Structure 1
Amino acid sequence: MDAGARILARALTGAVGQPVVVENRGGAGGVIGVDAVAKAPPDGYVLSFASTGAVAVNQSLIPNTPYDVRRDLTPIVIVSAIPMLIVVQPSLPVRDLAGFIALARQRPLTYGTSGPGGAPHLSGELLKQRAGFDMTHVPYRGAAPCVAGFLGEEVDACILDPLVLLPHVREGKARAVAVTSPARSAAMPEVPIVAEAGVAGVEVENWYALLAPAGTPSDRIDQLWEISRATLNRPEIARLFTDQGGRMVISGPADSAAFIRAEVEKWAEVVRLGGLRAD
């Protein structure tokens, strides 16, 4: 996310003629940073660049989230979306996702992610719910420890951003069985989507949105949207995002708001059915 924020900040700096500074405020799954913007003056000068977890999932996953995205923030643009890649140990006697699910119904299997509550974890939960099987989640403290754990054969499968997993797939150290995008990814066209394994409704992309505090004047929102659209449509800028394994979205304020509302409801149901809760 930090890399995407800096790409956008550099591009916007040239467009608006003044510095656009990235200030990282990590913690609590993105709650601290998003809350700071939700409570900032609505003048269009303090914005949030946040992902699916902080914007849509935390509403239901984290008790007493101090903001309501639908009430306290105004979307400007959804910039890009990156699917999750599901890989399994090459030593497992399976060649595809259907085979992995069948094996999980026969014996206990585990999957690792970068931590609880993020897009990788929720992808696994949604897959289990839609396919009707179980596997044990093993949360690591970040993507790098998760990859190390997978390569050390601590877990049977791993769900992460394709950027960190694809090198290991190409080296034969991991077997890619599915990607969670609605259609096959241009970055890995050889990898089938989850629906091709006969499991519908598992479309998960870690999307990134630019948001302003609620109450920001509509003309300022429109101005920021137009600048963002023109900037993100530049091929050299779009390529910086797609090189991360995702796709450009570039949806405007109204479409972004409707999409985020739907995502909040979608993940609330997944959290409820999975009995999930962040401490």
Structure 2
Amino acid sequence: MYRRSLIGLAVALSAGAVLAQSYPNKPVRLVVPFAPGGTTDIIARVMADPLSRALGQPVVVENKSGGGGIVGAAETAKATPDGYALGIATVSTTAANPAINTKTPYNPLTDFTPIINIAATPNIIAVHPSFAAKDYASFLSAVKKAPGQYSFASSGTGGIAHLQMELYKNLSGTFITHIPYRGSGPALNDTVAGQVPIIFDNLPSALAFIKENRLVPIVVAAPERIAALPQVPTFKEVGLEPVNRMAYYGIVGPKGLPKEVVDKINAAVRKSLEDPAVRKRIEDTGAFVVANTPEQFGAQIKAEFETYKRVVEQQKLRLD
């Protein structure tokens, strides 16, 4: 029995090595679990061309939105573990949504193979220019005076924007109605159009609208003030440090992805991020390049999932 197990292990390792030697010999799909226009989509498309060059095969970005990222993430989890079906993993898909949604069709800790965290991004509360408040103190005063009368847009129910805003509401003693969308892009479109007065979003997707004065930044979740927005305080500065959490954007595959393939993809992403032009495109969005190991990214996913499980339990959050 023991000898058969050793033989099986040797065969599996050999198969993984053979796969890695020929990998990739056809296009690689990279699923973005949100609609076009949001930060997840931006990061994926910035990486697609340089990653294609590093791997020697086209990396094709596909948007599979729905369920606050669950639909696209579930597709990656169910894919064949051969390295040709990868997905962009976010805090929403691997931590926040699974923490609040008991019907999530995958386990974020066991159904994916972590490969690399590409970048981390600040999150931000911003308002339409017609909103009376233009700074944090005025914003807090306005929403406190009118509980339930204001609404905020997010990229989807159970996503990081939703849960972080719910945490903010609980800690700040405010009540703002949640309006979920099928991704950051549609949420931004309606907020910029004035159909929703407030948005909680990732900075990279919101920054262009802020620079064009089509959105007004109020408070940001980041280790320190953002160079592009020096007048905007962090959540820590306004006394709400638990809300001061950044998002991540990494690449995962389905469980069982051979280590040799994981290492090859990790190395290709790192090589892509060595290009100053690629790093600049990412950093110009307000994101920070991370480029860590598969083990480090797996530890990040675990820590974030456990954090949001505690948030859900402590704040007694549930899906409607």
Gaps of 5+ in 1: none
Q: What do the CA deviations read for 1:225-254 (whole angstroms, capped 9, x no partner)?
A: 122112113211112222323221222111
CA distance in 1 between counterparts of 2:228 and 2:150 reads 26
- Counterparts of residues 53-202 of structure 1 (less than 5 Å): 53-88=92-127, 94=133, 96-108=135-147, 109-114=149-154, 115-140=156-181, 143=184, 146-147=187-188, 149-150=190-191, 155-163=196-204, 165-170=206-211, 174-202=215-243
SS of corresponding position for 1:201: helix
1:61 and 1:13, CA in 2 relative to 1: closer, same or farther beyond 3 A? same
The residue number in structure 2 matching 1:270 is 311
* Contact 1:12-1:20 within 8 A present in 2 as well: yes
- Give the direction of change, closer, same or farther, for the CA distance of 1:149–1:47 in structure 2 (3 Å limit): closer
- 1:255 counterpart residue number: 296
- Deviation, structure 1 residue 90: 5.4
Shift of 1:216: 1.8
In the aligned structure 2, how far is the partner of 1:217 from the partner of 1:68?
19
| Deviates further, 24-33 or 155-164 | 155-164
CA RMSD after TM alignment: 2.7
- Matches of 2:205 and 2:162, distance apart in 1: 16
Question: Is contact 1:26–1:33 with CA below 8 Å preserved after alignment?
Answer: yes
1:29 aligned residue: 68
Contact 2:65 2:183 in 1 (8 A): no
Q: Secondary structure at the match of 2:64?
A: coil
Check conservation: 2:153, 2:191, Cα contact below 8 A.
Answer: no
> Cα distance, 1:143 vs. partner?
4.5
The answer to whether residue 247 in structure 2 is matched with residue 206 in structure 1 is yes
List runs of 5+ in structure 2 lacking aligned partners.
1-39
Q: In 2, are the aligned partners of 1:84 and 1:119 still within 8 Å (CA)?
A: no
TM-score, normalised with respect to structure 2: 0.75
Equivalent of 2:47, from 8, 14, 18?
A: 8
CA distance in 1, matches of 2:285, 2:44: 13
Deviations 1:82-132 (A, max 9, x none): 222212455666553244324433332523213422332222112123334
Larger radius of gyration: 2
Q: Following TM superposition, by how much is the alpha carbon of 1:145 offset from its aligned partner in structure 2, in angstroms?
A: 5.4
TM-score calculated relative to the size of structure 1: 0.85
Spell out, residue by residue over 1:35-86, the C-alpha distance to the aligned partner (whole angstroms, 9 max, x if none): 2222223232321123221222221233322211211111111111222221
Report how far residue 133 of structure 1 moved. Answer: 3.2
Per-residue deviation at 1:210? 0.3
> Any conservation in 2 of the 1:80–1:208 contact (CA below 8 Å)?
yes
Higher relative contact order (CA 8 A, sep 6+): 1
User: Counterpart of 2:28?
Assistant: none
- Are residues 218 and 94 of structure 1, via their aligned partners in 2, closer, same or farther at CA, if it must alter by over 3 Å? same
Query: How far apart are the structure 2 equivalents of 1:24 and 1:89?
Result: 27
The whole-number CA distance in structure 2 between the counterparts of 1:162 and 1:170 is 11
Pick the aligned partner of 2:59 from 2, 9, 20.
20
| Cα 1:48–1:141 shift into 2, 3 Å | closer
- Larger displacement relative to structure 2 (34-43 or 132-141): 132-141
| Inter-CA distance 125–247: structure 2 relative to 1 (3 Å threshold) | same
Kept in 2: contact 1:187–1:246 (CA 8 A): no
> Is residue 231 from structure 1 mapped to residue 272 from structure 2 by the alignment?
yes
Secondary structure of 1:227's counterpart equals helix
